[in-house]
Structure 1
């Protein structure tokens, strides 16, 4: 579907899953980009623009346009993105194992 584009000003937490075609960018000439929490799932084609915060365990749906903060442990989707479910990202994440 395409490359993953991440602005150098973005902050991305641990164990995030970012699919093809996703963009995490800045806007209006700013170099300030999103702050993504831990265990966040970002589906194909999702766009996160500007200095927004995405909470831990959130899921961003395919082709969603995120321009406002996303709370922890919800699923957002649509253009612009809004809460569509109170399910967290856990079903979409790879479980890390201790060996």
Structure 2
């Protein structure tokens, strides 16, 4: 456990430019606190002490804002940066050298049984607010854009954005016919509905104007 803690602290010092020294990281890095608590909870979970495991998990959630189910399998050097609001489900499996930012959900869709949560392979980056849902696999070296909703497998070395998520780059090359990598163009269903109502009002006004010009009574 001590070796794992030292490895994690060194990893944060390497990846986080705001981290100044080991003592600061040890005391203040909530992502590490959540991971270390999870390692204890996971051992209890595997030994069937599920209630104790859930208590530790919920206490960690209270203090860190990060919820990792005790059943989740977490690899080495997981970096949860600014992790507030991060949720990792029970049957999720996470590889090594994975980076997760705040507001990320690795959850289920409510349609699966048993294996309900995603597998995240090595060297994957999941940006802030992204949702990866269901029994799917994010293959190694892939990147999930901020606020994306991913519902299908992602191939290795891919970059995914959008709702639902779609591949815009693979192996460093832009995917043919992919939409532009512009997070400001993500779908907005409420705005789409407003635009639809505006179009209906314009059509109705046009019909009324034609009726008036033709001398008809409404």
- The alpha-carbon deviation at position 55 of structure 1 amounts to 0.3
**Bigger share in strand:** 1
Moved >6 Å (runs of 4+): none
Q: Give TM-score scaled by structure 2 length.
A: 0.38
Look up the match of 2:146: 62
- Higher relative contact order, structure no. (Cα contacts within 8 Å, ≥ 6 residues apart): 1
Look up the match of 2:91: 9
Q: Give TM-score scaled by structure 1 length.
A: 0.82
Look up the match of 1:92: none
- The alpha-carbon deviation at position 46 of structure 1 amounts to 0.3
- The alpha-carbon deviation at position 28 of structure 1 amounts to 1.5
Q: Does 1:40 align with 2:121?
A: no
Distance (Å, rounded) in 2 between the aligned partners of 1:84 and 1:5? 26
Distance (Å, rounded) in 1 between the aligned partners of 2:151 and 2:125? 16
Look up the match of 1:28: 110
**Bigger share in helix:** 2
Structure 2: gaps of 5 or more residues: 1-81, 174-218
Q: Work out which of the two has the higher radius of gyration on C-alpha atoms and give 1 or 2.
A: 2
| Superimposed CA distance per residue, residues 58-97 of structure 1 (whole angstroms, 9 cap, x where no aligned partner) | 0000000000000000100000000011239xxxxxxxxx
